[in-house]
Amino acid sequence: MSKDRMRWPEGKSCAVMISVNLEAEYFAKMYYPDENIDLATGEVAALGWEGMTFGLPKILDALDAHNIKATFFVLAAVADKYPDAIKEIAIRGHEIGCHGYYHENLALLSIAEQRSVLKRAIDRLEEVSGKKVKGFRMPEGEMTEETLNIVKDLGFTYSSSLSDDDVPYLREESQIIELPIHWELYDLPYFVYTWDPQIPQGQSRSANANDVLENWKIELEGALKYGTLFNLQLDPQATGEQGRIFILEELLDIVAQNEKIWIATGEEIASYFEVSQDN
Amino acid sequence: MIWKNGAKAAFALGFDLDGRTIWRNKAHKLPGGQNFIKGVSIGDFGVKVGTARVLDILDEYDMKATWFIPAEIVEDNPKTVEKILARGHELAHHGYDHRGYYGNTAEEQIAYIERCQNVFLKYAGVKAKGFRGTGSILPETEKWLYTDGGFVYGSCGVSGEACTWIEVEGEKTKAVNIPCRDEMMDDYMQTVMNSYPQVLVGMPRIAPYRNPYENWINEVKGMIRYGTAGSAAFHPQIAGTPGRAIMLERFCRYLAENSSVWCSACIDLAEYFFEHNGDGNHE
């Protein structure tokens, strides 16, 4: 009775999308979405800087070593602060998507404000990267159907923000393509830790990287078995750390060697889905 | 007691098909929350994708399970419920909309529970015989539930370790307890995650999948050791995601290959219990 298995290009069994949420110090907004917390000093600022300075190069090298193109969902504020990093990502052939401007909790903004902030973010990202922005990933927090209507209207071809499926689908109201994500495939919530402010608030201990890799391997087994989209989300300060980068390298080794896996960017997956819908 | 086929323990796979209810209820407490779409999408996965995947795994191992479904989910997804029943599974009571509130008085609470039963009857053609609460009820309601209310078993979070007659205020009822210890057998508690609102609060790490898996196995081993019975609170929105489905399948294989434990739906365990312990008329 399961719905029909998703058909991937060239008879592949599943799709793997490697995405990077480039947030620098704004990662803290995921834990404090409604508070004006200090992003400019202290551990939050330091972790953001560390990720951009030490983590990002390792992630880019791991991707190059496996000849894999990823999708970088970038905050425009990060492009303002680190324009050379964004240019480098674009030059190395990766897709640039939009993750908001200042990591807004979009659901709490008016329609006009959402439209304005996302328009400014696209313009800034395209200006800095020299690439057309087609993908949208909601800054962690919330959004509404209206947000997706705006996203569609602004010319994005896809969103990668929701969790009600594990293969691409067309969102009914806005008719935008959704490439679903799931928390278990996001590195940051497993690893991030700061004392002040408390992140995570419950001060649970940072995960063992071997355990996280094990979860991801099981997820990959599931993706192959069920024909789903394995949509990995990375933050350079999490997996890009020197003692953790090996989990990305090992995962990419496995993925790159498996001929049944289609490795693609968000743009490529959305484009394939759009064409397959028309046929 | 000795269970069917000489098994030392009995185990009922239980699935709480909560859909978006929990997420919607949490979002409604936030400003503008009635229009949020991210949190509820996690719950929607269970109805949209997870259920079918879980049903296929159960078929593969020829296992009958109990599905605890809020009546609102039954109203909104009658075809999904039809498929669950068509494949031989049991439907059980799990409140209307997964809010903790059943009413102020026993009359109100009984009316609420009956209202759900009428939804089941209308959309699924059956009434529930098993109860897993989503909040607390008065002792008077509980007495009615398990004596005249038509419920023959309860399978609630913390209810002791014994599969035996449920007692309310020291009085035996006609129903049997099928324990389901949350922290051992609830996959939602073990691996759910969201940031806004925070689920779980404080955002603890998602566990390594082998942790809950080994807890399930250890709990079943405990049931075998002490000759008891129990159930699980697995959630299709969790258990039906690709990686967790791999773990669920491994657990079903473990159960299927273990002759010390008899697996069937809660209602089958309850009926077997009655066959060997009388019908509950404690004269």
On whether residue A90 sits in a domain, the answer given is: yes
**In the structure encoding, which two tokens stand for residue A81, read together?**
């602060």
Give yes or no for a cis peptide into A200 (omega within 30° of 0).
yes
Which pLDDT score, from 0 to 100, does residue B283 have?
57
**For the packed helices B242-257 and B51-60, what is the interaxial angle rounded to 10 degrees?**
20
- The H-or-E segment that residue A146 falls in is helix A145-153
On whether residue A235 sits in a domain, the answer given is: yes
The whole-angstrom distance between residue A265's C-alpha and the CA centroid of its chain comes to 11
Cβ pairs A/B, distance under 8 A: 141
The CATH number of the domain holding residue A53 is 3.20.20.370
Contact A229, A204 (CB under 8 A): no
Residue B31: exposed, middle, or buried by beta-carbon count in 10 A (0-12, 13-18, 19+)? exposed
Interface of B with A in 137-156 (CB under 8 A): none
Which pLDDT score, from 0 to 100, does residue A278 have?
79
On whether residue B197 sits in a domain, the answer given is: yes
Interstrand relation of A169-170 and A177-178 (parallel, antiparallel or unpaired) = antiparallel
- Chain-chain contact of B241 with A184 (C-beta, under 8 angstroms): yes
Can you tell me the distance from the alpha carbon of B110 to that of B137, in angstroms, rounded to the nearest whole number? Answer: 10
Per residue in B243-264, pLDDT (tens digit) is 999 999 999 999 999 999 999 9
Contact B129, B162 (CB under 8 A): no
Q: Is the dihedral of CA B52, B54, B55, B57 positive or negative?
A: positive
- Chain-chain contact of A206 with B205 (C-beta, under 8 angstroms): yes
Which pLDDT score, from 0 to 100, does residue A2 have?
59
Please compute the mean of the pLDDT values over residues B138-158 and round it to a whole number: 96
Q: Which residue of A has its CA nearest to B190?
A: A184
Per-residue pLDDT of chain A (279 residues; tens, 9 = 90+): 456 899 999 999 999 999 999 999 999 999 999 888 999 999 999 999 999 999 999 999 999 999 999 999 999 999 999 999 999 999 999 999 999 999 999 999 999 999 999 999 999 999 999 999 999 999 999 999 999 999 999 999 999 999 999 999 999 999 999 999 999 999 999 999 999 999 999 999 999 999 999 999 999 999 999 999 999 999 999 999 999 999 999 999 999 999 999 999 999 999 999 999 877
A194 touching B (Cβ < 8 Å) = no
- Chain-chain contact of A164 with B198 (C-beta, under 8 angstroms): no
Which contacts qualify for B111-117: CB closer than 8 Å, 24 or more apart?
Answer: B113/B141, B113/B145, B113/B149, B115/B71, B116/B70, B116/B71, B117/B93, B117/B150
Mutation for A interface: B44, B241, B244, B253, most A CBs within 10 A: B241
The CATH number of the domain holding residue B33 is 3.20.20.370
For B58, how many CA atoms within 13 A lie in the half-sphere containing its CB? 32
Please compute the mean of the pLDDT values over residues B269-278 and round it to a whole number: 96
Can you tell me the distance from the alpha carbon of B41 to that of B43, in angstroms, rounded to the nearest whole number? Answer: 5
On whether residue A151 sits in a domain, the answer given is: yes
3-state secondary structure of B42: helix
On whether residue A254 sits in a domain, the answer given is: yes
Which pLDDT score, from 0 to 100, does residue B158 have?
84
- Chain-chain contact of B31 with A108 (C-beta, under 8 angstroms): yes
Can you tell me the distance from the alpha carbon of A88 to that of A96, in angstroms, rounded to the nearest whole number? Answer: 11
Our count of domains for chain A comes to 1
B34 touching A (Cβ < 8 Å) = no
Which pLDDT score, from 0 to 100, does residue B279 have?
79
For A256, how many CA atoms within 13 A lie in the half-sphere containing its CB? 15
On whether residue B127 sits in a domain, the answer given is: yes
On whether residue A97 sits in a domain, the answer given is: yes
Can you tell me the distance from the alpha carbon of A186 to that of A137, in angstroms, rounded to the nearest whole number? Answer: 13
What are the φ and ψ backbone dihedral angles of A182, each rounded to 5 degrees?
-140, 140
Tell me the nearest-neighbour CA distance from B205 into chain A, angstroms: 5
Can you tell me the distance from the alpha carbon of A89 to that of A72, in angstroms, rounded to the nearest whole number? Answer: 8
- Chain-chain contact of B38 with A163 (C-beta, under 8 angstroms): yes
pLDDT at B276 over 70: yes
On whether residue A70 sits in a domain, the answer given is: yes
On whether residue A4 sits in a domain, the answer given is: no
Structural domain for B238, as ranges: 4-277
Which pLDDT score, from 0 to 100, does residue A72 have?
99
On whether residue B283 sits in a domain, the answer given is: no
- Chain-chain contact of A225 with B55 (C-beta, under 8 angstroms): no
Q: Which of B47, B22, B14 is nearest to B240 (CA)?
A: B47
On whether residue B282 sits in a domain, the answer given is: no
Which pLDDT score, from 0 to 100, does residue B250 have?
98
Structural domain for A113, as ranges: 9-278
| Phi-psi sector, B103: left (phi>0), alpha (psi -120 to 50), beta | left
Contact A81, A5 (CB under 8 A): no
Q: Is ipTM beyond 0.85?
A: yes
On whether residue A2 sits in a domain, the answer given is: no
- Count of Cβ atoms closer than 10 Å to residue B104 Cβ: 9
> With helix as H, strand as E and coil as C, how does B229-280 read?
EEECEECHHHHCCHHHHHHHHHHHHHHHHCCCEEECCHHHHHHHHHHHHCCC
Instruction: Please name the residue that has the structure tokens 């697996």.
Output: B263
Can you tell me the distance from the alpha carbon of A165 to that of A179, in angstroms, rounded to the nearest whole number? Answer: 8
B6 touching A (Cβ < 8 Å) = no
On whether residue B210 sits in a domain, the answer given is: yes
Q: How far is CA A195 from CA A28, A198, A205, B161, in A?
A: 12, 5, 11, 40
Our count of domains for chain B comes to 1
On whether residue B230 sits in a domain, the answer given is: yes
- Count of Cβ atoms closer than 10 Å to residue A127 Cβ: 12
